[in-house]
Amino acid sequence: MLRTHVAEFAELSDIAKCDSEGEGVSAVGQVQEHCFRSKWTGPMCEGQPQWYAIHTRAQHERAVAARLVNEGITTFLPLVSDVHQWSDRRKVVEMPLFSCYAFVHLCLVPHIWTKVMRVNGVLRFVGIRGRGIPIADSQIESIRRLLSSELPCMPYPFLKLGQRVRIRGGSLEGIEGILVARNGNHSLVISLEPIQRSLAVRIDGYHFEPI
């Protein structure tokens, strides 16, 4: 069974020194920023920063998160703790909830976009032509609350269709998602459209209403 929690990355800054990949990123970043400025047709940042997903190299999620924090970028990397069993011992291993993805909270303007893209291990913003698609604050907050609640939850196949419900009462009050049932158990599935990933948490015993 997975035990969940929210990772804090201020203390992980030393990880940023461990990876030498990405040489020549500065020059590439300059070209990318030029393309970003010349081809961007949508609105930039208007007012408050928003959440965006970034695609990272495999097994580089923690290092990328630490590097982004060092650059002054607000970053969220949801982690889960899984117990790995060997013949002679057990060990709790922290793994990213969504492999190869992290989240950043920023105002999407060319120089900030380039700053993120220059970080070793970052492949792209998730969105059309790598420009990023905003993720609703409520979705990120729902994931934070689920992880901090320490209720058993796990990755779930991405869902687009289904009955949307809102939890009423308890520690998950107000969280919205898709209601699914399997073997008589009810779960709430929260889906992140940009990265095509979902998270499921058992809600037996909670009251919920359709929305």
Domains parsed from the chain with CATH numbers: 3-135 (3.30.70.940), 149-210 (no CATH)
Place of tokens 């889960």: 80
- Minimum mean pLDDT among 74-78, 156-160, 202-206: which range? 156-160
pLDDT category of residue 22 using cuts at 50, 70 and 90: very low
pTM: 0.70
**Tens digits of residue pLDDT in 95-129:** 898 999 999 999 988 889 999 999 999 999 998 88
Q: What's the sign of the alpha-carbon dihedral 19, 11, 26, 118?
A: positive
Query: What pairs with residue 106 in β-bridges?
Result: 50
Output the pLDDT for position 112: 92
CA distances from 29 to 49, 105, 130 (A): 22, 20, 13
**Whole-number Å distance between alpha carbons of 155 and 122:** 22
The 10s digit of each residue's pLDDT in 121-152 is 999 999 888 888 999 999 999 999 888 887 77
Are 9 and 72 within 8 A, CB to CB? Answer: no
